[in-house]
Every structure is written in C-alpha cells, then in structure tokens.
Amino acid sequence: MTAAPLLLACLLAPPDTAAGEPETGLALQRQAVAQLEAALDAPLAEPFAVGPGDTLSDVVADLLPDHVVLTEGKDLDWVGSELRELPVDAPVALPAGRFSTRTAFELTLDAIGHEPLTLRNAGGVLLIADAYSGDTLFETRIYPVRDLLTAAGPAFRVPPIPYEDLVAAVQAGGFNPSMGGRPLVDASAVQNPKGTTPPDDPAVPLALAAQQPLVDLIVASTGGQKNRVGWKNQDGRGGTIEAFDGVLTIRQNQANHRQIETLLADLRAAFAAHPWSFSEASFPAGDPLPAGVALRRRSAAELDAALDLSLAAAARFEAGTPLAAALAALLPDQVVLPDRPRLSDVGLDLRTIVLEGPVRLPAGLLPVRRAVEIVLAGCDVDEPLAACNDGGVLKITTREHAERFLVTRVYPTRDLLEKSGPRAAPRQVGRYLHRVKTTPPAVCNIGSPTVPLASCDPETPLDVALAARNPLFDMILNVTGGYEGGGPWERTDGRGGALEEFDGVLVVRQTQAVHRQIETLLAGLRAANAVRPWTFPADRSLPVEEIEEEPTE
C-alpha cells in the first residue's frame, strides 16, 4: 500500500536547489519539505481501512513507513496524550485512487476520541499536534504576484480627476467602500499636490493599482472558521499579509497557506482560460494546482455527480432504521462519515442515530441529494442535521455548522460583463461612478452626494465591461443565500460569506448550498443571453439625454 505513494512522492517532489547548489542547509530542508508534501498529496495506492483496535501508530506505519513522524511532545503531553497509545475509536474506510494520504491521516485524526489533532510539515518531518498549537503556529512565505497585478492593473485604473473636485468629493463623504466594491480613489489621494490620483502618476506603475485589491481579496477569501485562524487586520488576531513592489509576504499557518496557493492558482487559470475578448494580451498558464488539491476536487466532483443523479430505485426505510444504513443504501459507492467533533459537541453519534418514522422515496422523481436531505430531516434527534461534501467525503454534521462551513470558489464572469456592460455604462462606470444629464458642467454621482467632475465617460472597452460589476454584485447578493437561503452574506447580513471581484473574475467564499445557487444563476444568465438576445445591436446603449435628473445645487 505504501511503496507506490512513496515512489510517486519522490517523482513529484520539485527540484528546489539550483544547478550545482550543494544539498545542505536550507536547500536540503526545502527538498525534504517538498518530498513530504508530495507523499501526503499522493493518491492511496491501496484501499485504506482502520477502526477500533487500531492505533495512530499503526496508521503512521501503514501510510508513511519511510518518513519521520513525531508528536510535538510538549503539546500532547499537556493534554495527556502519547502517540503510541492513541486508539482509533470509529471506522474509516477509503477506496484506492480517489483520496490522498493527507486525507487518510486527517480522517483518522477525526476518528480518534480525543482532543482535536492536526498535521504539520516541519522541515520534512510530519508532526502531530493538538489542533490549537498546530493552527496558531505561523510560518512566512513569499508569493510573487506581478503577473496577476500586471494583468489586473487596468481594471483598477482611476480616471484623472481635478484636484479641487477630488477634495470636494472626499469632504462630501462621497466614497463608500462598504457598498460592494472599491472606491474610485484612496482618500489619501487628496494630499497629492500634482492633482492626479496615484495610479495615473507616471512614477507609479499601473499594475500596483491592483496590489491592495488583491490583498483585500486574499484576506476576505481565505482563513476563517474551519481553520480556526483568521487575519490580524480583519479579526484582531491571526496571520498578516504585506505587499512590497508586486510581491506578497504572508505569515499564516500551513492550512491557510494551502488555501492561498490554491486561490492564486485559480485566479491564474481563470485569467488564462477566460481572457477579455477585446484584449490582445495573453495571460500565461500558471503553475498547476497542488496535486492534493486537484485530487480533492476530482473526488468532490464525483460525489456531487452522484448526489445529482436521480434515484435509480425506490427506497423504503422503516422507523428505527439506523441513519448510517439508510445513507449507505442511497450512496453505496461513496464514503459517508460523521463530522465527529461537531456531532460530539451536541451529544450525537452517527452510529446511534435512527429514523423517527418511515421514509418512502420514489424512483426517478428525486435527486439523491434531496433524498439525503429528507432522510436527515427524519432522524430522531433534537439538533437538525446536514451533509457537506468535504473533498469527496460526505460528512454528516449539524445544520448550524453546515451554514458556517465556507469554501472559496472562483467564477469567471468576463463574458457576462462584456455583454451587459454597454447597457450599464451610461449610468455606471467602474463601481460607483454614475452619469446623469444636468446643466453643465456634467456631474458624476460617486456614492452620495453628487459632485461636479471633469469627465465621467467610459474611456476603454474595459471601462464599459466593468460598468456591469455592481449590477452583477447586487443580483448575487439579493437572490442567493441569506439566513433562510443556505447562508448569509457579510455585506448584506452582517456576517457570513464574502463576495469579491478581481478584473472580471468573481471570488466567492460561501456555503456549498449557496455556491450551487450561484452556479445555477450564472448558468441561467448565460442561457438567457443565448436564447433571448437583445434585438438591437449589442453595442447600443441608452443615450445620456434620456436620463434626466434635477441639477444639484
């Protein structure tokens, strides 16, 4: 079972040493780290199964026989634990090929009836520690992001604004970044004696206009409740992120670093696969996703596909049927496990949960996902239950936790913005800029109130396309999620998921239920564009003269 993953780990480990560099010191440590990461991300070569009677040391010997695995003795001794004595309390079984060695370790740690445990790669040595110690131990990594900033910089260009008008706008409170986007300029720009905003200053590269938006995007879309560690500038404690000339330096725990690596890889993939149609520049293909992340996504996609199938045969469960047996009948080829930490918190054990009454499910009328929801709703428990797709494993958890289990996904929407931008451009340029016809001079409403500016016309096709960002933002926030709709939004409900945009690409951190709503919404918009297009030319927009408002004093 272990020879193949270990060999694959050696083959996948990237060369971190330069040609001729001696494999000593830091270079040797980096190589050891990469080899352990590759071993953890390698797919299981044989079926994996543990249960009562096995110990954690048995799992270590089985999964990583040729790697060093230690406990952080100080932390585990503090909670009275010893690696060799930790028993596995619940069964865990995984098929070969679909799950990684890391997943097998993590599920085994969840199956140990003890203090929550976690894994950490410490210089090529796998350390097992209590979750709090592991999650609050930070390390610093450097992320070059100049390619992303160069590509996205024009989307954050600030149109030149006369200095006097800029001062009036800021003094009037006209910049409101809480409404779903970025302000046109930073308030510090009023101190600029040259009369232009920083991105238009020749001394400041246009690419750097996207630097702070990318930092804000990472903070909003990574970390959080599942990993128990947030960001210091957002949550008051946690990791830190700094930008310096197109390079990000981030101090976070290893779990959040993996989220950041995945997010940046997804952004690069979206930029490369979905370019603006009017742009002649091509974005180079970025680094592939980490092997373990790609494997988790494939497994998750297989489980989602199984859940979306209709019931092939009628199912009938009598009162008193064990929940585990009912789920096994509905999903015979999938892995279904309890979210033991959350169920234990409310005094539940999946092995003892039964159906309160009979459940009848007809064939062909319901998807398996809905059948699972009906079965969970029929359980004899005080705490409502829900199911989450955790990397291809269907986790049975509490409904409260499912509504706080947030995952980040990237949605390319440049095609939708390009189609809708020409209709939005007359009233909305960028995210806040609205043009209305008044007595000269023309005015632009930047949030509130209306202040006179020199010019508000969209200057490029990119300006026109990005004019549709706010309408798309508002639609998603208003027709998906919510307290009764799968998960609230931070912007509209005060807590919950985050919705961000970066050069025509949406980055959404939300529950799985809301992600399915967003996927359906975007697919419906694309279908509507194809089936019911406008009958007038695509570039026709509403004349400014038709938008009448009383002039502002």
Q: Is residue 460 within 8 Å of residue 498, measured between CB atoms?
A: no
Of the candidates 87, 93, 85, 95, the one whose C-alpha atom is nearest the C-alpha of residue 50 is 93
What pLDDT does residue 272 have?
Answer: 93
Domain boundaries, the chain: 3-136, 142-289+406-531, 301-402
**CA 206 to CA 222: how far, in whole Å?**
26
CA atoms within 13 A on the CB side of 323: 28
3-state helix/strand/coil string of 363-426:
CCCCEHHHHHHHHHHCECCCCCEEEEEECCEEEEEEHHHHCCCCEEEEEECHHHHHHHHHHHCC
Query: Can you list the residues of the chain whose pLDDT is less than 50?
Result: 1-19, 75, 78-79, 174-203, 427-457, 540-550, 552-553
Q: How many CB atoms lie within 10 A of CB 549?
A: 12
Q: What is the pLDDT of residue 457?
A: 47
Cβ neighbours of 540 (radius 10 Å):
10
SS (H, E, C) 216-229: HHHHHHCCECCCCE
Q: If we measure between CA atoms, which residue out of 338, 415, 344 comes closest to residue 376?
A: 338
pLDDT in tens, 206-226: 888 899 999 999 999 998 655
**What digits encode the pLDDT tens for the residues 238-254?**
889 999 999 999 999 99
Name the token pair of 348: 């539940």
Question: What is the structure's pLDDT at 504?
Answer: 94
Q: Count the Cβ atoms, other than its own, within 10 Å of residue 352.
A: 11
Per-residue pLDDT tens over the stretch 514-528: 999 999 999 999 999
pLDDT at 339 (0 to 100): 93
Integer Cα distance of 420 and 467 in angstroms: 8
Model confidence, pTM = 0.80
Cα–Cα distances in angstroms (integers) from residue 419 to residues 57, 479, 501, 518, 539, in the given order: 58, 21, 17, 19, 9
Q: What is the pLDDT of residue 81?
A: 54
Report the C-alpha gap between 41 and 106 in whole angstroms: 12
DSSP 13-24: S---SPTT--S-
Single out the residue of 539, 552, 530, 551 nearest to residue 426, CA to CA. 539
